[in-house]
Structure 1
Amino acid sequence: MPRLSDTICADHKDLKSYYDQIVQAEDEDEQTRWQNMLTWELARHVVGEELVLYPALKQHLNEDAAEDRQQHQMIKEKLAVFQNLKTTDPRFIPTMAILMDDLAAHVNHEERVDLTNLEKAISEEESNNLAVSFDRTKNFVPTRAHPSAPDRPPYQTAVGLITAPLDYLQDLFRKWPDSESTPNAPAE
């Protein structure tokens, strides 16, 4: 079974690959599909960390993750702008680049410090259980950025349970990359 750090780092790698797909896309339709994928996965990833990773940091390392939460808030605000841009908008690529720069800085710290310290403080079984919780949590959280939503349980969970079905309904009408190349992609 994968450890929590393996699961989160795999998500980070996927997010970077979605960004690369947008940059390398040959047309606007393909860019839109990958924009939706990046938005979908990043929104779910951020909330998954807030509901699973941050409480684990608090419990096992007595860290409140305040700086991480601030970084997530900035990422959610930038994602909210990016997710609503058309690929033809001249701000599309610059907005995405700024979002990904902020994400890269956050990811670097998280992988180097937070996850390393947490993995040292918990058993392999606990890490495996957190990885399962993280993956499971991403199945019921919003799929779009909602920066004005609460970022701490239990309010975050309650708002997420209300918001997520609306996001999932809208996702039915979005364009997605070919499911063969993206096993996590929602069905089109």
Structure 2
Amino acid sequence: MFSSHNITRNLNKFPQNLKPLIATSFTSTRLFSSTIPIMTRVSEALKTDHRELEDAYNKILSATSEDEKTRWQNQFIWELARHSIGEELVVYPAMEKYLNNGKEMADKDRKDHAKVKEQLYKFQNLKATDADFEPTIKALMSDLSQHIKEEEEHDLVALENALKEDDSEDLYKSFNRSKMFAPTRSHPSAPDKPPFETAAGLLAAPIDHLKDLFSRFPK
């Protein structure tokens, strides 16, 4: 189980107004889901992440202090790193499995990710006071927004049309399990120490290694 010290330490790296949400989100979800069964689709999980990334980006640009910018920078970096890995572990293999042109679609999305990852590497090494800080995140978000648009309007629509409802829900659960790679929104039954301490370490890990780690996470 996670120690209160580790949870507090990790929460201090993120925006103040997110701490109550992060600390209570899993408990609230469990209580709600234990009383009312809800069928959820994998596209919903991805779209939720997309909106959270857009919100973090806007918060970075609107922040009025260096500390606030840095906290939202940390949030954005971890969310995008974990989201990208979740797609590569869960969503793209599903495209290849269920869609006739799935491999072509997945390969294009992987190329999009490669470009965004390069920009993310640069952004995470910048301080909020650096001259390149805002131009870098704006360029990154421009490419990411195009990827999100194509994914939501085409890729996810095609995938959902090919999936049975139960299959989509299984992918939804698998995708959300990928959040255990990040130390900020942790599952109580995950290992006490997350497998990666930095977003850079997560993004640099070979995909086969990530698949092996992912297979050992609690379901």
Normalised by the shorter chain, which TM-score bucket?
A: 0.7 to 0.9
Letter in 2 for 1:115: L
Q: Which residue of 2 aligns with 1:21?
A: 59
Extract unaligned runs of 5+ from structure 2: 1-38, 183-195
1:54 aligns with 2:86: no
CA-CA distance at 1:20 after TM superposition: 0.5
Q: Which residue of 2 aligns with 1:144?
A: 199
Letter in 1 for 2:69: Q
Report the more deviating stretch, 22-31 or 138-147: 138-147
Q: Which residue of 1 aligns with 2:159?
A: 118
Report the more deviating stretch, 88-97 or 58-67: 58-67
Tell me the alpha carbon deviations over residues 44-68 of structure 1, each in whole angstroms, 9 at most, x when there is no partner: 0000000000000000004121110
Letter in 2 for 1:97: K
CA-CA distance at 1:130 after TM superposition: 0.4
1:102 aligns with 2:143: yes
Tell me the alpha carbon deviations over residues 5-44 of structure 1, each in whole angstroms, 9 at most, x when there is no partner: 0110010000000000011101010000000000010000
Deviating 4+ runs (over 6 angstroms): none
Q: How do 1:57-76 and structure 2 match up within 5 A? A: 57-62=95-100, 63-64=102-103, 65-76=106-117
Q: Which residue of 2 aligns with 1:32?
A: 70
Letter in 2 for 1:52: V
Extract unaligned runs of 5+ from structure 1: 162-188
Q: Which residue of 2 aligns with 1:171?
A: none
Contact kept in structure 1, 2:178 and 2:214, CA below 8 Å: no
Aligned equivalents of 1:160, 1:31: Cα separation in 2: 31
Structure 2 SS opposite 1:139: helix
Normalized against structure 2, the TM-score is what? 0.68
CA-CA distance at 1:156 after TM superposition: 4.0
Name the count of aligned residue pairs: 159
Report the more deviating stretch, 61-70 or 30-39: 61-70
Contact kept in structure 2, 1:76 and 1:145, CA below 8 Å: no
Tell me the alpha carbon deviations over residues 85-133 of structure 1, each in whole angstroms, 9 at most, x when there is no partner: 0000000000000100010010011111110000000011111110110
CA-CA distance at 1:138 after TM superposition: 2.2
Normalized against structure 1, the TM-score is what? 0.79
RMSD in angstroms over aligned alpha carbons?
A: 1.9
- When residues 160 and 95 of structure 1 are mapped into structure 2, their CA distance, relative to the original with a 3 A threshold, is farther
Q: Which residue of 1 aligns with 2:211?
A: 157
Structure 1 SS opposite 2:181: coil
- When residues 113 and 24 of structure 1 are mapped into structure 2, their CA distance, relative to the original with a 3 A threshold, is same
Q: Which residue of 2 aligns with 1:11?
A: 49
